[in-house]
Amino acid sequence: MANFSTMEIQKMFVNDQKYLEEAFSELGNPTEAETGARGRCEYFMRILSTLDAEDALIKEQFKARQAEIMTARKALHYYKYDQFVQDMENLDYKGKKSITFLHGKAGTRKKGDALAVTDENALIDWVQDNIELDSQAEYLKTTIKIKKTPFNEQLKSGAYALYGIPSGTEFVPAHEEFYPKNINKTQELF
């Protein structure tokens, strides 16, 4: 729940008086016990507590629904992506890099050479053994998670040609990759 200053509330009230009156009327009236200074404070705290609880519930429901959607996306990708790629390869792009469909746009994009992490622990060990301590932060997050960008920059510079690619990775050559994009959003689906 946002905390507003008295000035902000007054501005909101002046600008949105009708809206605020409607919203306030839905909050309910104080009970008989909620009279006097203490009672009005109890009323205020009861309503605030109810709104905070509703807000928390909505956030929890949102997270649960988001997880369901992510699982559905993964399932769609797992079961239908190969057929999608095959169908896309059979379509005529008419000289374009993408095709617009009723519900989105799909095409190919060039992907540069990269390293795919196959064993995160082996790669972390490799960084700790081969990269100077003061430079390790460029390669690892503080929770010892791998940052892919510096590894790929090293790959582009040719540094791995001297001593090989890091343990726990495999070389992924440059390639074209299909991408579906929802027409209603700019977010890619996979």
String of DSSP letters for 80-125: HHHHHHHHHHHS--TT-SEEEETTEEEEEEEE--EEEES-HHHHHH
CB distance 121 to 166 below 8 Å? no
Q: Which of 44, 74, 104 is the last residue of a domain?
A: 74
Enumerate residues 6+ apart whose C-beta is below 8 A from 130. 163, 166
- Domain membership of residue 82 (yes or no) is no
Q: What pLDDT, in 10s, does the model give residues 39-60?
A: 888 888 888 888 889 999 999 9
How many structural domains is the chain composed of? 2
- Domain membership of residue 188 (yes or no) is no
Same domain, 159 and 101: yes
- Domain membership of residue 144 (yes or no) is yes
- Domain membership of residue 113 (yes or no) is yes
DSSP-derived letter for residue 31 is: P
- Domain membership of residue 86 (yes or no) is no
Report the distance separating Cα 143 and Cα 124, nearest Å.
11
Same domain, 64 and 100: no
**Tokens 């027409």 identify what position?**
183
Give me the domain span that covers residue 65: 6-74
- Domain membership of residue 110 (yes or no) is yes
**What are the pLDDT tens digits along the chain (190 aa)?**
456 666 666 665 566 666 667 777 777 788 777 788 888 888 888 888 888 899 999 999 999 999 999 999 999 989 998 898 888 888 887 888 888 888 888 888 888 887 788 888 888 788 888 777 667 667 666 555 667 777 777 777 777 766 677 777 777 777 777 666 665 554 444 4
Same domain, 69 and 134: no
Give this prediction's pTM: 0.46
61: which 2 tokens?
């429901």
Same domain, 176 and 99: yes
Same domain, 17 and 54: yes
CB distance 155 to 115 below 8 Å? yes
